[in-house]
Amino acid sequence: MDAKIAQKGPFVAQETPGKKFWCACGYSQNQPYCDGSHAKSGTGLSPVMVEFTEEKKVAWCGCKHSGNKPYCDGSHGKL
């Protein structure tokens, strides 16, 4: 099963140091972060863990179709 498109554009966030889990399935109610919904979605997709060592601005993929997951690469423009 394919991922659900959460939104046709990136989720831009100022991230703090630490581990973040990006939702790959699109079913999380806490986008762009995983809330465990992948276990019930039936997509077979798992979250992607990213660890930041410093504060930075991130454009998380919202359409779940990026070729550079978990980051936005503009793929939403082709959907």
Q: Calculate the average pLDDT of the chain.
A: 96
Do residues 66 and 77 lie in contact, with contact meaning Cβ atoms separated by under 8 Å? no
77: confidence class by pLDDT, cuts 50, 70, 90: very high
Q: 75, 66 in Cβ contact below 8 A?
A: yes
Cα–Cα distance for residue pair 39/26, rounded to 1 Å:
12
The pLDDT of 2-28, averaged and rounded, is: 97
Rounded CA separation 37/28 (Å) = 5
What architecture does CATH give domain 11-65? 3-Layer(aba) Sandwich (3.40)
Predicted local confidence at residue 38, as pLDDT: 94
Task: Give the per-residue pLDDT at 41.
Answer: 87
Amino acid 2: pLDDT: 84
Extents of the domains making up the chain: 11-65
pTM: 0.94
The phi, psi pair for 45, rounded to 5°, reads: -90, 145
- Tell me which of 78 and 1 has the higher pLDDT: 78
